[in-house]
Amino acid sequence: MANNVFTISGLSFAYGQKRIFEGLDLSLREGVVTTLIGANGSGKSTLFNLMTKNLKPSAGSVFLRGGDVGLLRLRDFAKLVAIVHQRNTAPADLSVEKLVEYGRFPYRALGRRADAAEDERMVKWALETTGLAEFARQSVSSLSGGQAQRVWIAMALAQGSKVLLLDEPTTYLDVRYQLDILRLVRRLNEEFGMTIVMVLHDINQALHYSDEVVALADGRIVAQGAPERIVTSELLEQVYGISLRVVDVDGKPFVLEV
C-alpha cells in the first residue's frame, strides 16, 4: 500500500436488492489529482460515499495509507481527509470566516479550542488560499455560487489535512466559476502537495485537470490511468454508451461531444 493514499479491497455494497459493487479493488496514488468518471448509475458517487464513511460496505475494506477507514473515528478521519460534498447549506446570517472556522472542529475537545493560535493561522491561510480574505465578514448567503463553493473548500482546507475529496465541485456553476474551482484544485495539488480525489460529470474538464482518471461502468473499474494513455473513443463508448470522437489538444485528449 506504499505510495497509495486509498487502497480499496474486495469492496461490496448494495442499496437493498440493487447490487452496486461486488469485490471491487482499486488503488489511488498519493500526491496526484484523480477524477472518477462514469455515466449516471455507474457507481462513482456511491464509491465516493464509501471512501468518505458516509456509507458502510457490506464486505471488503477501504484503507487510508494502510489504515482501515472503517475503524477510524469521524474526528480522527477528519484530521486526515477533508471532504466537500455536492450540496452544502449554511444559515443565512453565517459569516464566511465563521463557516471556515468550523473546519477546526476536529481539533477541539468538548467545544474548546486546543490551540487558538493554530486555529487562527489555518483559517487565515484557508481564506487567503481560496481568495476569500476580503469576504471574511460577509455572510455566505451574500456570495455568488462560485464564491460560496470556495468557502466550503476553504472550510475543508482549514482542517489541515493533506487529502481533499470533492464530489462534483463544479455542478450548478457557470463556466467561469467551474474553471476557477478547477484551477484552484490544481494549485492545491501543485503548490501545497495535496492529494485530490474528485467526481466530475464534465468529461473534458476531468481529462484536462486530472493526473489520473478512474472510469466506472456498471459498478466496475473499466480503466484507470493518465488521460492521454487510456482515453479513447472505444473506452468512452464502453463508459457512456455513446460514440464520441477523441482528438489531441496540446497533448491532452479532448472529446468532441457535439
> What is residue 89's predicted lDDT score, i.e. its pLDDT?
81
For the chain, list the domains and their CATH numbers: 4-87+161-256 (3.40.50.300)
β-partners of residue 217 are 220
CA dihedral 163, 166, 229, 248 (to 10 degrees): -130
Q: Which of 157, 149, 165, 231 is nearest to 200 (CA)?
A: 165
Instruction: Give the pLDDT score at 110.
Output: 55
What does the alpha-carbon distance between residue 200 and residue 210 come to, in Å, rounded to a whole number?
Answer: 10
DSSP string covering 223-246? EEE-HHHH--HHHHHHHHSS--EE
- Contact by Cβ (8 Å): 60, 8: yes
Q: State residue 258's pLDDT score.
A: 58
Q: How far is CA 81 from CA 37, 100, 106, in A?
A: 21, 16, 11
pLDDT of res. 66: 86
pTM of the model as a whole: 0.93
Per-residue confidence (pLDDT) for residue 113, from 0 to 100: 57
pLDDT tens sequence across 153-209: 999 999 999 999 999 999 889 999 999 999 999 999 999 999 999 999 999 999 999
Specify the pLDDT at position 111: 54
* Distance between CA atoms of residues 122 and 104, nearest Å: 8
Cα(138)–Cα(132) distance, rounded to whole angstroms?
A: 10
CA angle 32, 174, 241 (to 5 degrees): 65
Distances (CA, A) of 23 to 10, 13, 58, 87, 101: 4, 9, 10, 29, 39
pLDDT at 252: 86
Low-confidence ranges of the chain (pLDDT < 70): 1-2, 109-114, 258
pLDDT of residue 1: 43
